[in-house]
Amino acid sequence: MEGTREFDDAPTSNGPATNWQNVSQVRGMMSNMYPTTQQPGSTTIPQPNMITALDQDMPPNHILLAILSTVFCICPCGVLSLCHAVQVNDNFLRGNTAAAQYNSRQAWRWGITSISVGCLVITIALIYYMVLLTLRL
């Protein structure tokens, strides 16, 4: 046939490839390509232990506080609270409990800050309108 090549190790329709019958040969080739031992001078990155992560209690994500502070207080702090609250579950399920606890604390802090700023703005607005009403009388 013109323009085609035939390979010795290519599978044919009559049977399997002859060069790839032994699985240990493939494993040997793969271990040479991708060594599992640590190379000299390299550092290992510790992976989180999923068993110990799942044994711990998941920190609260404070998602309700974040949503309510974002909707009712209309403060950028509520958006920050919402961003941190969403990350709590993902970090915990990945085994990064330290980041999950950090995001839980930050969601709480930004939610409370948003509510505080919202209450302060509402109080100042009410006092302003009360003073304005008393001066008009």
How far apart, in whole angstroms, are the C-alpha atoms of residue 60 and residue 107?
9
Residue 62 has a pLDDT of: 93
| DSSP classification of residue 131 | H
The predicted-structure confidence for 83-111, as pLDDT tens digits, reads as follows 999 999 999 988 899 999 999 999 999 99
How far apart, in whole angstroms, are the C-alpha atoms of residue 61 and residue 104?
5
Helix (H/G/I), strand (E/B), else coil: 108: helix
Percent of the chain residues topping a pLDDT of 90: 47
Name the burial class of residue 6, with classes exposed (0-12), middle (13-18) and buried (19+) by CB atoms within 10 angstroms of its CB.
exposed
CB 85 within 8 A of CB 61: yes
Cα three-residue angle 88-92-95, rounded to 5 degrees:
150
Q: Does the pLDDT at position 20 exceed 50? A: no
70-94 mean pLDDT = 91
How far apart, in whole angstroms, are the C-alpha atoms of residue 119 and residue 23?
70
Entry pTM: 0.58
- Tell me the two tokens of residue 30: 């793969």
